[in-house]
C-alpha cells in the first residue's frame, strides 16, 4: 500500500462550508478531518508560530507555504502517534490545504488525493454575509472586517483557484455550496463513501 495518506480535498472559497462539512464527516468512523485554519487557531498566540499566524491571517493573507506544510505534517504525526488518525483505515479529509500550487507540490509526498470536492459558489455577496455571521458567532477576528474578507477572496482567486488544475479533472466533483448543509452532505457522501470503502477494503486485503 502507498505510504501517502489516502485523501479527499474539501476545496472552495472562504465561507463555502468546508469546515462545517469537514466537522460532520469527522463524526463518521473512517474519516479524519484536518483543517489548517483550525490547527493555526489552536496555536498558542504568544508563541512565535502563533504570532506569525496572526500577522498573516489578520490581513487576509496566507501563511508562508513551508511553515504551513511543516506545522500541518507535525500535527498529522501527533494524531497518528496518539492513534487518533489511522492512516491505513481512515480517509483523510483535508480542509483548507493546499491553498496554492506550491503547497499542492509540497504536499504530494504526504497525500494521495483520490477526490477533490469543489464547493462551488459564485455568489460572493452570500459568502461575504456568511463570513460576517460566522465571525460574530465564533469570535474570529480575521473575518470580522470587510477589507480582510475582500482580501481573502482576492487571494483565493489568485493563489488558490489555480490549485484545481494541479489535479486530474476526473478527480474533481462539483457540489453546489449554497444548498442546505444536508443537501451538500448528501452529494459529498456520494463522492466520498466509495473512496472510503475502497481504502478500507485495500487495508483489510493487505492484512489478510
Contacts with ligand AMP by CB under 6 A lie at 14, 36-37, 40, 56-57, 61-63, 68, 96-97, 99, 103, 142, 152
Contact 104, 98 (CB under 8 A): yes
Nearer Cβ to ligand AMP (91/97)? 97
Q: Cα–Cα distance between 97 and 34 in angstroms, integer?
A: 9
Q: Minimum distance between the CB of residue 28 and ligand AMP, rounded to whole angstroms?
A: 21
118 burial class (0-12, 13-18, 19+ CB within 10 angstroms)? middle
Nearer Cβ to ligand AMP (90/142)? 142
Q: Minimum distance between the CB of residue 3 and ligand AMP, rounded to whole angstroms?
A: 22
What DSSP element (H or E) covers 40? helix 36-41
Nearer Cβ to ligand AMP (39/199)? 39
Q: Minimum distance between the CB of residue 187 and ligand AMP, rounded to whole angstroms?
A: 21
Q: Cα–Cα distance between 37 and 57 in angstroms, integer?
A: 9
Q: Cα–Cα distance between 13 and 155 in angstroms, integer?
A: 10
Nearer Cβ to ligand AMP (74/201)? 74
Q: Cα–Cα distance between 188 and 184 in angstroms, integer?
A: 6
Q: Minimum distance between the CB of residue 93 and ligand AMP, rounded to whole angstroms?
A: 13
Nearer Cβ to ligand AMP (14/87)? 14
Q: Minimum distance between the CB of residue 140 and ligand AMP, rounded to whole angstroms?
A: 8
Amino acid at each position: 500500500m502507498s505510504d501517502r495518506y489516502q485523501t479527499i480535498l474539501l476545496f472552495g472559497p472562504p465561507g463555502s462550508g468546508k469546515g462545517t462539512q469537514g466537522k460532520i464527516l469527522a463524526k463518521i468512523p473512517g474519516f479524519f478531518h484536518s483543517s489548517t485554519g483550525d490547527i493555526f487557531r489552536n496555536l498558542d498566540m504568544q508563541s512565535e508560530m502563533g504570532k506569525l499566524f496572526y500577522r498573516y491571517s489578520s490581513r487576509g493573507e496566507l501563511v508562508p507555504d513551508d511553515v504551513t506544510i511543516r506545522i500541518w505534517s507535525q500535527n498529522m504525526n501527533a494524531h497518528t502517534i496518539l492513534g487518533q488518525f489511522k492512516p491505513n483505515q481512515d480517509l483523510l479529509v483535508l480542509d483548507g490545504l493546499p491553498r496554492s500550487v506550491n503547497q499542492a507540490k509540497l504536499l504530494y509526498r504526504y497525500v494521495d488525493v483520490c477526490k477533490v470536492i469543489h464547493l462551488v459558489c459564485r455568489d460572493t455577496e452570500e459568502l461575504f454575509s456568511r463570513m460576517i455571521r460566522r465571525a460574530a458567532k465564533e469570535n474570529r477576528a480575521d473575518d470580522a472586517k470587510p477589507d480582510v474578507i475582500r482580501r481573502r477572496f482576492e487571494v483565493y482567486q489568485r493563489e488558490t483557484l489555480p490549485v484545481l488544475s494541479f489535479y486530474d479533472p476526473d478527480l474533481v466533483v462539483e457540489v453546489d455550496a449554497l444548498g442546505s448543509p444536508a443537501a451538500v452532505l448528501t452529494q459529498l457522501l456520494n463522492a466520498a463513501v466509495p473512496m472510503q470503502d475502497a481504502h478500507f477494503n485495500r487495508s483489510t486485503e493487505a492484512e489478510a
